[in-house]
């Protein structure tokens, strides 16, 4: 036992030191996307590439690998969900995946995606796919090589997907999307037609950006984001990143003519941030201090953005606060009007601005396209045409330029292939979770109307956040809700909401 204890201590010390390097890399990446001068890009790519190589070498170091294997054998009699078993299992899983990847590939991929994101941030506002294409071709080639090395059940895409959603498989997701889209298409058709019939306010209202910053910070703090252990900043594509056990950064973006764009982006990222802030800080960098999966992570952001932020009780609380910041623009608005407004349905081109009914269709498109890229069935140069065709087929619209088309998302420039389906999984998880939370907490509508979001946050802390990676995502959801992952709770939730605002019969 004493030998096992000393091996465990050495293993954890090594992992915590490696986590320090990862946090330094995350800090450089956060700075790159918030304030780094454009001309500093090449050197920043070299910095992050060096760090990624050092991290990979530490994660696969022979001495650490031997310790993990020794621990894996010695904890075989432990309960599978004990702290020790979870820690060792998570470290061994990461070790096995990383051992399949050569250092040269890891460093080449890191450099390509840092430069790719920089190129994307320049190309997107110019709608210039041609300048971004060489970067995308390099990234796709490297990610295909990685996928082949990580392939599961003969599927390269599974190898990438499993890195984000452990246990998820391409074939199962393809079946899920087929069934989900079959139900969503008629819902969208009816609700969008009803939305078009409603009187729309065409007068453009200005919401001063500085006031939006203050308002969004107020709302984020009210729902539970801890600003003593986090920040809210701005970037081209909103995201959340954690730089340390008590340092979570969320980033949003604002439009002067659209209050809701920045607000829902902030609610979304705050949902991610509160999950990160709810993980055990003393286990930072270890499996018990890490999120269960990206699908579970997304369930937290979508729950706060949609189940809370697009509810009528939320607006009964929030509108009086919003009027303090925007008295002229919102003077005549009523909670029920804004509730109806934020739940309108209209096929659109921008994923992050999409309504709840059409959102998963955006994800289905990306899921199909990125699988084709990884399987070599679609060349990067043909992506814009494939994108336009898919939008016409799923949503009946086509992008006018690449900025609202293939360049709108940062993910592929960041090498995040296999990531997109976790958004839809997050929507499905969120619907099951809020349904269970409503039954167990009771009177959520009353609490939201009073601005009391702590009972829901504490319920999420207890059932999800503090577990870290103790359970696989599907098992975690089943333990909490008593049901396997299913699209039906989401479809039921969506139909009821759209009926309430008069968009479905």
Task: Assess whether 134 and 266 both reside in one domain.
Answer: no
Same-domain check for residues 103 and 203: no
pLDDT one-digit tens code per residue, 295-343: 999 999 999 999 999 999 999 999 999 999 999 999 999 999 999 999 9
* pTM of this structure: 0.96
pLDDT tens-digit series, residues 402-450: 999 999 999 999 999 999 999 999 999 999 999 999 999 999 999 999 9
Residues contacting residue 337 through CB under 8 Å, at least 6 positions apart:
none
* Catalytic center residues: 269
Buried b (16+ CB within 10 A) or exposed e, 192-212: bebbeeeeeeeeeeebeeebb
Of 211, 208, 330, which Cα lies nearest the Cα of 257?
208
Q: Is the pLDDT of residue 3 over 90?
A: no
End position of a domain, from candidates 96, 128, 153: 153
Residue 467: inside a domain, yes or no?
Answer: yes
pLDDT digits (tens, 9 = 90+) for 169-220: 999 999 999 999 999 999 999 999 998 876 555 567 899 999 999 999 999 9
Q: Which of 123, 153, 183 is the last residue of a domain?
A: 153
- pLDDT by residue (tens digit) across 214-255? 999 999 999 999 999 999 999 888 999 999 999 999 999 999
- State the pLDDT at residue 495: 97
Question: Is residue 159, in this structure, part of any structural domain at all?
Answer: no
* Burial status of residue 154 (CB atoms within 10 A of its CB: 0-12, 13-18, 19 or more): exposed
Residue 112 pLDDT greater than 80, yes or no: yes
Q: Are residues 233 and 137 in the same domain?
A: no
333 assigned to some structural domain: yes
Mean predicted confidence (pLDDT) in 379-407? 96
- Pairing mode, strands 230-234 and 247-252: parallel
Whether 135 and 229 share a structural domain: no
Is 83:71 a contact under the CB 8 Å cutoff? no
- Which among 101, 125, 153 is the end of a domain? 153
* 76/176 same-domain check: no
The reply to whether 164 falls in a domain is: no
Closest CA to 158 of 147, 144, 143, 146: 147
Specify whether 283 is located in the same domain as 214.
yes
Q: Do residues 116 and 211 both lie within one domain?
A: no
1 pLDDT above the threshold of 60: no
pLDDT for res 226: 98
- The verdict on residue 392 lying in a domain is yes
Same domain, 100 and 142: yes
Same-domain pairing of 193 and 141: no
Indicate the number of domains in the chain.
2
Question: If you count DSSP H runs as helices and E runs as strands, how many of each does the chain have, helices first?
Answer: 20, 3
Average pLDDT, whole number, for the chain?
96
222 shares a domain with 80? no
Cα–Cα distance for residue pair 89/68, rounded to 1 Å: 9
Averaged pLDDT, 24-42 = 93
pLDDT (tens digit per residue) in 362-385 = 999 999 999 999 999 999 999 999
Cα–Cα dist 193/488, whole Å: 23
Q: Is 447 exposed, middle or buried (0-12, 13-18, 19+ CB in 10 A)?
A: middle
Whether the CB-CB separation of 410 and 236 falls below 8 Å is answered with: yes
Do residues 432 and 370 both lie within one domain?
yes
**Residue 384: domain span:** 170-500
Indicate if the alpha-carbon torsion angle 95, 101, 102, 107 is positive or negative.
negative
Please say whether the beta carbons of 498 and 357 come within 8 A.
yes
Distance (Å, whole) CA 291 – CA 275: 8
Q: What is the CATH number of the domain that holds 342?
A: 1.10.1370.30
| Rounded Cα gap, residues 463 and 270, in angstroms | 18
The pLDDT tens digits for 347-368 are 999 998 899 999 999 999 999 9
Please list the residues that pair with 250 across neighbouring strands. 232, 240
**What does 38-96 look like in DSSP terms, one character per residue?**
GGGHHHHHHHHHHHHHHHHHHHT-HHHHHHHHHHHHHTTTS-TTSHHHHHHHHHHHHHH
Q: What percent of the chain has pLDDT over 70?
A: 99
Residues 108 and 257 in one domain: no
């Amino acid at each position: 036992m004493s030998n096992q204890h000393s091996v465990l201590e050495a293993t954890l010390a090594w992992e915590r030191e490696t986590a320090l390097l990862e946090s330094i890399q995350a800090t450089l990446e956060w700075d790159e996307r918030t304030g780094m001068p454009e001309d500093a890009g090449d050197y920043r790519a070299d910095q992050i590439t060096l760090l990624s190589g050092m991290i990979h070498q530490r994660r696969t170091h022979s001495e650490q690998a031997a310790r993990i294997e020794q621990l894996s054998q010695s904890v075989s009699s432990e309960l599978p969900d004990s702290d020790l078993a979870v820690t060792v299992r998570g470290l061994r899983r990461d070790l096995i995946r990383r051992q399949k990847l050569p250092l040269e590939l890891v460093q080449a991929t890191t450099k390509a995606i840092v430069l790719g994101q920089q190129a994307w941030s320049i190309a997107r506002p110019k709608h210039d796919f041609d300048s971004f294409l060489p970067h995308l071709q390099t990234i796709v080639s490297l990610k295909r090589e990685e996928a082949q090395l990580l392939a599961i059940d003969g599927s390269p895409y599974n190898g990438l997907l499993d890195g984000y959603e452990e246990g998820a498989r391409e074939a199962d997701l393809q079946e899920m999307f087929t069934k989900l889209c079959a139900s969503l298409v008629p819902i969208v058709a009816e609700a969008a037609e009803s939305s078009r019939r409603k009187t729309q306010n065409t007068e453009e209202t200005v919401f001063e950006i500085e006031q939006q910053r203050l308002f969004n910070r107020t709302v984020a703090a009210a729902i539970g984001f801890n600003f003593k252990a986090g920040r809210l900043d701005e970037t081209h594509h909103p995201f959340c990143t954690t730089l340390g056990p008590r340092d979570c950064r969320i980033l949003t973006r604002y439009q002067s003519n659209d209050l809701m764009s920045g607000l829902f982006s902030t609610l979304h990222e705050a949902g991610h941030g509160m999950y990160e802030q709810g993980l055990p800080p003393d286990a930072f960098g270890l499996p018990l201090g890490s999120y269960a999966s990206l699908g579970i992570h997304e369930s937290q952001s979508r729950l706060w953005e949609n189940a809370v932020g697009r509810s009528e009780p939320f607006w009964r609380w929030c509108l009086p606060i919003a009027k303090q910041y925007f008295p002229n623009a919102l003077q005549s608005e009523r909670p029920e009007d804004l509730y109806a407004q934020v739940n309108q349905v209209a096929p659109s081109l921008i994923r992050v601005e999409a309504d709840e009914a059409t959102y998963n269709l955006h994800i289905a498109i990306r899921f199909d396209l990125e699988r084709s890229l990884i399987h070599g069935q679609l060349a990067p140069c043909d992506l814009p045409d494939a994108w336009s065709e898919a939008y016409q087929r799923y949503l009946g619209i086509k992008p006018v330029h690449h900025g609202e088309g293939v360049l709108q998302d940062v993910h592929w420039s960041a090498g995040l292939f296999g990531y997109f389906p976790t958004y839809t999984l997050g929507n499905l998880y969120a619907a099951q979770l809020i349904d269970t939370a409503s039954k167990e907490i009771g009177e959520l509508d009353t609490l939201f109307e009073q601005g009391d979001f702590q009972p829901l946050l504490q319920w999420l802390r207890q059932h999800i956040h503090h577990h870290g990676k103790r359970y696989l995502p599907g098992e975690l959801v089943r333990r909490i809700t008593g049901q396997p992952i299913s699209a039906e709770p989401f479809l039921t939730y969506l139909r009821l909401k759209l009926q309430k605002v008069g968009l479905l019969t």
